[in-house]
Amino acid sequence: MKPIFLLALLFLLPPGSKATTTEVAPDVFWFDTYGDIRWEDEKARLDNFVIQLFNEPNYTGYIYIYVGRHSCRDEAVARAIRARRYLLNVRHLPWNRLAWRDLGYADDFQVRLWLFPTGAPPRYVPEYQPATSVHVIEDCTSQSRRAKISTRRTNRWTRAAGACFATSLVRRRVL
C-alpha cells in the first residue's frame, strides 16, 4: 500500500515546488534586434520596447546601432536620435530611462534593444567597430534634399518677402 500511496503523491505534487526553486530575474537582457526596416515597422518595435520599459520601472533601455557595408555618413547617429525622439516625445518615456550608442560598422544595418538595471553601468557594452575597406560611406546630403528643404522655406517664409522685394525693385526702376 505504501508504494501506491507514494506514487499517487508524486503525481499529485507539481513538478517544481516554489519552496525548492528560487527564480532570479536577469539583471540584463536583450529585448529585440532588427535590420533596415520601414519606419512604420520600426515604430511598432519601439512601441513594444517602451511598453516593456514601463512594465519594468527599475530598468533603463539602451539602443545599440551598427550601420551596414553601404551607408551614409552619421547614419547611425541620425537613426538613434530619430528613435530616441520618438520614444521621448511620442511615447513619453522619461529622458533618463533611455540611452543610445553608435557601434560603428558591421556587415548589415542592425539595431539592438537592451534592458539594463537603472543606476548600474551596463554589463554588455560592445566595442566600436571601425570601417574597413569593404565599407562604402557616402555623403548622403544630396542637392535634391537640400532643394526640397530650401523650397519649403522659400514657400513658407520668403514668398511674401520676395513679393515685397520685387515690388520695391519695380518702384526703384520707375523712379
Within a domain: 151:
no
Within a domain: 7:
no
pLDDT reported for residue 41: 95
Total domain count for the chain? 1
* Residue 170: all three cell numbers together: 519695380
pLDDT reported for residue 42: 96
- pLDDT-derived band at 22, boundaries 50, 70, 90: very low
Q: Are 47 and 91 in contact (CB under 8 A)?
A: yes
| 160 compared with 65, residue with greater pLDDT | 65
CATH code, domain carrying 99: 3.30.1330.60
List of residues 6+ apart from 132 with CB closer than 8 A: 105
pLDDT reported for residue 96: 92
Task: Choose the most confident range, by mean pLDDT, from 29-33, 41-45, 148-152.
Answer: 41-45
Within a domain: 48:
yes
Give the 3-state secondary structure of 10-51. HHHCCCCCCCCCCCCCCCCEEEEEECCCCHHHHHHHHHHHHH
Task: Specify the range with the lowest mean pLDDT, choosing from 23-27, 60-64, 73-77, 165-169.
Answer: 165-169
* Residue 165: all three cell numbers together: 522685394
Determine how β-strand 59-67 pairs with β-strand 110-117: antiparallel
d(CA 164, CA 78): 38
Q: What is the dihedral of CA 84, 88, 93, 95, to 10 degrees?
A: 80
* Residue 3: all three cell numbers together: 508504494
pLDDT reported for residue 156: 39
Within a domain: 75:
yes
Within a domain: 85:
yes
Does 167 have pLDDT greater than 70? no
- pLDDT-derived band at 20, boundaries 50, 70, 90: very low
Does 28 have pLDDT greater than 70? no
The predicted-structure confidence for 47-97, as pLDDT tens digits, reads as follows 999 999 999 999 999 999 999 988 898 899 999 999 999 999 999 999 999
Within a domain: 132:
yes
Does 24 have pLDDT greater than 60? no
What is the span of the domain harbouring residue 66?
A: 28-140
Within a domain: 11:
no
Positive or negative, the CA dihedral 104, 105, 111, 116 is: negative
List of residues 6+ apart from 54 with CB closer than 8 A: 93
- pLDDT-derived band at 164, boundaries 50, 70, 90: very low
Within a domain: 98:
yes
The predicted-structure confidence for 100-149, as pLDDT tens digits, reads as follows 999 999 999 999 999 989 887 777 788 888 888 888 888 887 544 444 44
